[in-house]
């Protein structure tokens, strides 16, 4: 089976996906009988578009050596298309959106569905704010919408909730879904103030220049909303109660440590009720994660308590989820 792909976003994740498609080519052919043909790649400067398929090795080389696809003039035509034009005009089986947050992104997904394409994404806001519309449009067009990479990177919590526990009713999901806050809180455990820990995170590239989306709890709340949508039903983001870690003081950390506790940004998801807030958890609890580890404790009526833990970030890990989704999307047809 020949599967054509339109790849929107050629940053770390987009290039990670391209690298997996390139390096594991024989594996996909052997295991699934699938050959991938990437017919377009877009970064913020340009779109390379060739129905015959783009040489991924060269694309990676150009992007990594020259910084932008617009400098790649010799072999391919350079197009200047908006994302929605890519979704509409580039003929592909699967539209992959691995760009970062853009309030308009749901429109691209909608357009791709209208054109009969599956959509695979790591982009959270469309799921958080337009889940119902997007899921309905995909169902109506008979295509698949997959978004494993939006929560816990390559750790397959979305697929677990969708494909397992079919006879169970989920009671709650409790977990840690943001690594930046874990990093800052762990550094504070070593004696840094919040501001010092944040600066360290920024200098290491763990926190962004504008860190609000992480430290104010929005990123965790986005993920918790997506989990609520999958485990229960769509919930309005306005109903999510969010408290970030920006008000945590060294004395809060010290007090927690005195009782063998640590503070972590915990998301708790129950039907119609999503809360993200810093909470004390025992140092020996499964919730006392470090580094980029994410963890989810899923409680359901029959299976009881199931714990899923793994990396919540990373290029290869996120590419794992995106590529798994591509295969699931086209094998389910």
Residues 23-42 that bind a second copy (CB under 8 A): 24, 27-28, 32
Contact, 105 vs 127, CB < 8 A? no
Q: Is 182 in the site for a second copy (CB under 8 A)?
A: no
Distance separating alpha carbons of residues 161 and 197, to the nearest angstrom? 34
| Closest CA relative to residue 187, chosen from 178, 196, 179 | 196
Q: Are strands 94-97 and 2-8 parallel, antiparallel or unpaired?
A: parallel
Candidates 20, 59, 62, 143: give the one binding a second copy (CB under 8 A).
20
User: Which residues, 239 to 298, sit near a second copy by CB under 8 A?
Assistant: 284, 286
Distance between CA atoms of residues 323 and 318, nearest Å = 9
d(Cα 140, Cα 278) in Å, to the nearest integer? 40
Cβ proximity to a second copy: between 87 and 319 the closer is 319
- Candidates 15, 137, 7, 130; CA nearest to 64 is 15
Q: What sign does the dihedral 255-259-264-268 (CA atoms) show? A: negative
CB of 147 to a second copy, least distance (A): 13
Kindly state the smallest distance separating residue 93's Cβ from a second copy, in Å.
Answer: 16
Closest CA to 105 of 121, 116, 93: 121
Of 75, 77, 104, 169, the one binding a second copy by CB under 8 A = 169
172 forms part of the interface with a second copy (CB under 8 A): no
- The interface with a second copy within residues 63-82 (CB under 8 A) comprises none
Residue 196 C-beta: closest distance to a second copy, Å: 29
Could you tell me the smallest distance in angstroms from the CB atom of residue 306 to a second copy?
Answer: 4
Q: Give the DSSP letter of residue 66.
A: H
Of these residues, 124, 216, 223, 279, which one is catalytic? 223
Tell me how far apart the alpha carbons of residues 69 and 79 are, in angstroms, rounded to a whole number. Answer: 10
Asked if 168 interacts with a second copy (CB under 8 A), we say yes
Which residues, including other chains, have CB under 8 Å from residue 278's CB and lie 6 or more apart? Answer: 181, 185, 243, 244, 245, 248, 263, 264, 265, 266
For helices 124-141 and 105-114, give the axis angle rounded to 10 degrees: 10
Would you list the DSSP string of 24-50? Answer: THHHHHHHH--EEEEEEEE-SS-EEE-
Nearer to a second copy, 34 or 192 (CB): 34
Using the rule CB under 8 A, is 1 a contact of a second copy? Answer: no
Candidate residues 163, 195, 247, 333; the one interacting with a second copy per rule CB under 8 A: 163
- Among the residue ranges 53-61, 166-174, 205-213, 254-262, the one whose residues contact a second copy (CB under 8 A): 166-174
Residue 328 interacts with a second copy (CB under 8 A): yes or no: yes
Which member of 39, 253, 256, 319 binds a second copy (CB under 8 A)?
A: 319
Catalytic residue status for 37: no
Residues identified as active-site? 223
Could you list the residues that contact a second copy (CB under 8 A)? Answer: 20, 24, 27-28, 32, 148, 153-156, 159-160, 163-169, 284, 286, 300, 302-311, 314, 316-317, 319-321, 323-328, 331
């Amino acid at each position: 089976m020949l599967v054509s792909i339109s790849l929107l976003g050629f940053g770390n994740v987009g290039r990670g996906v391209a690298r997996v498609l390139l390096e594991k080519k024989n594996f996909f052919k052997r295991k699934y009988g699938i050959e991938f043909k990437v017919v377009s790649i877009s970064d913020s400067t340009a779109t390379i578009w060739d129905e015959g398929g783009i040489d991924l090795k060269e694309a990676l080389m150009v992007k990594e050596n020259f910084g932008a696809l617009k400098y790649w003039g010799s072999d391919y035509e350079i197009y200047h298309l908006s994302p929605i034009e890519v979704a509409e005009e580039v003929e592909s089986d699967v539209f992959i959106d691995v760009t970062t947050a853009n309030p308009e992104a749901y429109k691209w997904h909608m357009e791709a569905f209208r054109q009969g394409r599956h959509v695979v994404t790591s982009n959270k806001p469309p799921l958080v704010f337009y889940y119902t519309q997007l899921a309905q449009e995909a169902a109506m067009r008979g295509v698949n919408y997959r978004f494993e990479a939006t929560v816990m990177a390559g750790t397959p919590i979305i697929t677990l909730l969708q494909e397992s526990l079919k006879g169970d009713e989920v009671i709650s999901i409790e977990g840690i879904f943001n690594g930046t806050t874990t990093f800052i809180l762990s550094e504070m455990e070593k004696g840094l103030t919040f501001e010092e820990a944040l600066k360290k995170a920024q200098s290491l590239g763990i926190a962004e220049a504008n860190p609000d989306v992480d430290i104010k709890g929005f990123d965790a709340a986005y993920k918790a909303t997506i989990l609520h949508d999958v485990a229960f039903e769509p919930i309005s983001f306005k109903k999510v109660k969010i408290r970030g870690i920006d008000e945590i003081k060294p004395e809060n950390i010290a007090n927690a440590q005195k009782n063998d506790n640590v503070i972590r940004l915990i998301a708790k998801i129950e039907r119609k009720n999503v809360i993200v807030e810093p909470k004390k958890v025992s140092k020996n609890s499964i919730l006392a994660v470090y580094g980029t580890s994410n963890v989810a404790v899923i409680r359901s009526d029959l299976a009881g308590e199931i714990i899923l833990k793994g990396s919540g970030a990373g290029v290869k890990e996120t590419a794992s989820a995106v590529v798994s989704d591509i295969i699931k999307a086209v094998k389910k047809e």
